[in-house]
């Protein structure tokens, strides 16, 4: 019994992340490296988008305060539309090119759609990572288990000390897939919700401009 305990304790003590990666074959290593890259990429996109959306909401709040403060349209145009640096300013500039209800709704709405499309950039990557990473990890797991079974058959030894490293290596690929996918899905849903609120503000602003233009006709 003591010899078995020693046989099991040696290899299992070595089942670290680095050990599992180094003992994997080239296919599983590529899968693991790809999943790590996807995870880092999703975090980078999420941080960049959160900072950008947060800044955009702050700009929108300042613009709405000025818009509803009673300032004249000329003052708003001078402040925001002559050298627009945010989405609301660019929408206002587009709307002022032809000041009537129909044209404001059309040109302002088109500019709002362009701004929202630019802000959406990167969210599709999060959706792809969230949906594909588990399957990539599963592929690595299946490949790793196949290699483990081949190693077991070649060694003709089914002791846990022989089986465990190969199975652990295979399951590690699935764990990496989930590690990449779960945050990506959370980031995608959270950022999509933030963007939807911003889109509602921007589209509401276009409607307000169209109403103002219609009353001025």
What pLDDT score was predicted for residue 125? 95
pLDDT of residue 156: 67
Overall number of domains in the chain: 1
Contact 185, 130 (CB under 8 A): yes
Q: In the prediction, which pLDDT does 136 show? A: 94
Q: What's the confidence (pLDDT) of residue 74?
A: 79
The reported pLDDT for the residue numbered 135 is: 95
Note down the domain range covering 191: 2-216
How high is the pLDDT of residue 4? 39
What pLDDT is attached to residue 7? 37
Q: Which candidate, 130, 143, 132, places its Cα nearest to that of 185?
A: 130
pLDDT of residue 11: 47
> Longest C-alpha distance within the chain, in Å?
95
- What is the model's pTM? 0.78
Residues of the chain with pLDDT under 70: 1-15, 17, 101, 155-163, 165, 216-217
Backbone phi and psi for residue 96, each to the nearest 5 degrees, phi listed first: -75, -10
Cβ-count burial 46-67 (b if 16+ within 10 Å, e if not): beebeebbeebeebbeebeeeb
Q: Output the DSSP codes for 68-131.
A: TTT--HHHHIIIIISS--SHHHHHHHHHTTS-SHHHHHHHHHHHHHHHHHHHHTTHHHHHHHHH
pLDDT at site 2: 40
Cα-trace Rg, the chain: 28
What is the pLDDT, as a whole number, of residue 10? 45
Identify the CA nearest to 177 among candidates 124, 138, 146, 149.
Answer: 138
């Amino acid at each position: 019994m003591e010899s078995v305990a020693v046989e099991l304790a040696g290899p299992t003590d070595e089942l670290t992340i680095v050990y599992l990666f180094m003992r994997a074959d080239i296919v599983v290593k590529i899968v693991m490296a790809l999943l790590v890259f996807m995870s880092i990429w999703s975090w980078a996109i999420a941080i960049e988008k959160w900072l950008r959306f947060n800044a955009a909401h702050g700009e929108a709040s300042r613009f709405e305060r000025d818009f509803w403060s009673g300032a004249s349209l000329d003052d708003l145009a001078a402040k925001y539309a002559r050298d627009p640096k945010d989405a609301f300013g660019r929408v206002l500039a587009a709307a002022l090119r032809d000041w009537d209800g129909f044209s404001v709704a059309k040109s302002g709405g088109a500019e709002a759609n362009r701004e929202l499309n630019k802000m959406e950039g990167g969210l599709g990557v999060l959706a792809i990572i969230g949906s594909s990473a588990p399957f990539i990890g599963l592929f690595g797991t299946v490949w790793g288990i196949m290699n483990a079974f081949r190693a077991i058959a070649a060694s003709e030894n089914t002791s846990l000390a022989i089986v465990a490293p190969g199975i652990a290596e295979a399951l590690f690929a699935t764990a990496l897939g989930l590690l990449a996918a779960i945050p990506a899905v959370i980031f995608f849903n959270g950022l999509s919700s933030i963007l939807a609120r911003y889109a509602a503000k921007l589209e509401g602003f276009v409607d307000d401009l169209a109403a103002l233009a219609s009353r001025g006709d």
